[in-house]
């Protein structure tokens, strides 16, 4: 990009695509949805807000969400096999009994409060060196409450920096929430395959002058860029889909705007402009951004899968309307309060 458009060179940013893949992470692994290296002597974080079901009608525990996913995947691989294992049948019967009891009690079905948070991501600096933790910390842990919270209707998030060496006794059985407001708020355990890349801004982050530059077909031709001729009328779309900010889970880089125009975030302590820390993505790619599909996943992508089993959604996380949640931190001090945003 810098060779074709030198004007963009100053805007290059490092990023690390996390490439989550289904697996069985341990507390010593960087992961999405895996167990955390949490000190046994430290209180597990809880959400103190009031939690009501509202009108969603969704009433499943995280364990039940994962059992349903497992069963659906197994039925897809073996359509003539039993629908559930005996363990799954027992779990479903327990759920049915619990739901019947709640329905008899009537709304509003108030939840336990405070609600234990769910692990979302654990990142070791050795695997994701782009992280800039405070002090001696070398581990980032992100959790959220699996309920929508007003006014933005998204999970509330918590960020912790920790020194792995300081954790002597690990909390073996952390508490979990009784239910989740939505299955997309229950991450499936995934190992990571981090990839360092260089990112350029989303089209919405470009100045009007730079938008004209990347939309100039003659510039692409003069540079000898290997482009599909179908982009001749709208070359800026080629930049936006294939060469600007990467989709999927990532650390650093540029924000994936689209739900709104760029919306700058400022630290509530020192008023510094905040920078992207982590992007929590609903999908690793979509139909318009197949150029970002990792080579290892292209065969699975081409084969197609039933709904809910897409290789582009290994974590099964879904925020907003298949959007992204970005976590931002203060560049002056990572210990200042973070913020998050759905895009």
Q: What is the pLDDT of residues 317-342, one digit of tens each?
A: 999 888 999 999 999 998 899 999 99
Q: What is the pLDDT of residues 173-209, one digit of tens each?
A: 999 988 888 899 999 999 999 999 999 999 999 999 9
Per-residue model confidence (pLDDT) at position 100? 64
Which is higher by pLDDT, 28 or 226? 28
Distance of CA 26 to the CA centre of its chain: 19
Q: Which tokens sit at 187?
A: 């991450």
**Of the listed ranges 9-18, 157-166, 209-218, the one predicted with least confidence:** 209-218
pLDDT of residue 65 exceeding 80, the answer is yes
pLDDT of residue 25 exceeding 60, the answer is yes
High-pLDDT (> 90) share of the chain, %: 52
Q: What is the pLDDT of residues 83-95, one digit of tens each?
A: 556 776 676 667 6
What average pLDDT does range 243-249 have in this prediction? 93
Which stretches does DSSP call E strand in 211-261?
Answer: 250-252
pLDDT category of residue 51 using cuts at 50, 70 and 90: confident
Per-residue model confidence (pLDDT) at position 110? 47
CA distance 116 to 107: 22
C-beta neighbour count of 331 within 10 angstroms: 14
High-pLDDT (> 70) share of the chain, %: 85
Task: Indicate the average pLDDT of the chain.
Answer: 86
Q: Which tokens sit at 182?
A: 């939505």
Q: Which residues does 220 contact at the CB level (< 8 Å), separation at least 6?
A: 4, 227, 235, 238
Per-residue model confidence (pLDDT) at position 24? 92
Cα separations in angstroms, 35 against 25, 141, 143, 289 = 7, 10, 11, 31
What average pLDDT does range 224-243 have in this prediction? 80
What average pLDDT does range 115-139 have in this prediction? 96
Strand, coil or helix: what is 7? helix
Per-residue model confidence (pLDDT) at position 85? 64
Distance of CA 135 to the CA centre of its chain: 26
Q: Which tokens sit at 335?
A: 């210990």
Q: Which residue stretches of the chain are H helix?
A: 62-77, 86-105, 208-214, 217-222, 235-238, 298-303
Range of 66-75, 91-100, 267-276, 302-311 with top mean pLDDT: 267-276
Per-residue model confidence (pLDDT) at position 43? 96
pLDDT category of residue 139 using cuts at 50, 70 and 90: very high
pLDDT category of residue 287 using cuts at 50, 70 and 90: confident
Per-residue model confidence (pLDDT) at position 52? 59
Q: Among 266, 282, 262, which Cα is nearest to 203's?
A: 262
What average pLDDT does range 132-148 have in this prediction? 94
């Amino acid at each position: 990009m810098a060779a074709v458009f030198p004007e963009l060179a100053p805007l290059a940013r490092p990023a690390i695509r996390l490439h989550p893949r289904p697996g069985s992470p341990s507390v010593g692994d960087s992961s999405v949805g895996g167990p955390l290296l949490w000190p046994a002597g430290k209180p597990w974080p809880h959400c103190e807000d009031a939690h009501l079901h509202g009108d969603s009608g969704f009433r499943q525990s995280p364990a039940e969400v994962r059992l349903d996913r497992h069963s659906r995947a197994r039925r897809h691989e073996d359509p003539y096999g039993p629908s559930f294992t005996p363990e799954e049948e027992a779990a479903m019967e327990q759920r049915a009994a619990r739901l019947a009891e709640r329905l008899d009690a009537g709304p509003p079905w108030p939840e336990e409060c405070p609600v234990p948070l769910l692990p979302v991501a654990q990142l070791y600096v050795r695997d994701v060196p782009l992280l800039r933790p405070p002090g001696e910390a070398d581990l980032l842990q992100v959790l959220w409450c699996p309920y929508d919270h007003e006014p933005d209707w998204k999970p509330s998030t918590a960020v912790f920096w920790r020194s792995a060496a300081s954790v002597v006794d690990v909390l073996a059985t952390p508490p979990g929430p009784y239910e989740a407001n939505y299955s997309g708020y229950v991450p499936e355990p995934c190992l990571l395959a981090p990839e360092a890349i260089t990112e350029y801004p989303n089209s919405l982050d470009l100045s009007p002058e730079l938008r004209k530059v990347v939309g100039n077909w003659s510039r692409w031709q003069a540079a000898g860029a290997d482009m599909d001729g179908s982009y001749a009328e709208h070359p800026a779309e080629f930049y936006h889909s294939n060469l600007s900010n990467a989709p999927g889970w990532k650390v650093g880089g540029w924000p994936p705007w689209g739900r709104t125009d760029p919306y700058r975030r400022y630290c509530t302590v020192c008023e510094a402009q905040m920078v992207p820390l982590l992007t929590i993505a609903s999908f690793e790619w979509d139909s318009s951004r197949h150029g970002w599909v990792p080579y290892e996943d292209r065969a699975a992508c081409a084969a197609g899968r039933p709904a809910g089993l897409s290789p582009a959604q290994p974590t099964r996380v879904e925020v907003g309307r298949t959007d992204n949640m970005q976590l931002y931190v203060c560049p002056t001090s990572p210990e200042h309060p973070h913020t998050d945003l759905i895009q």
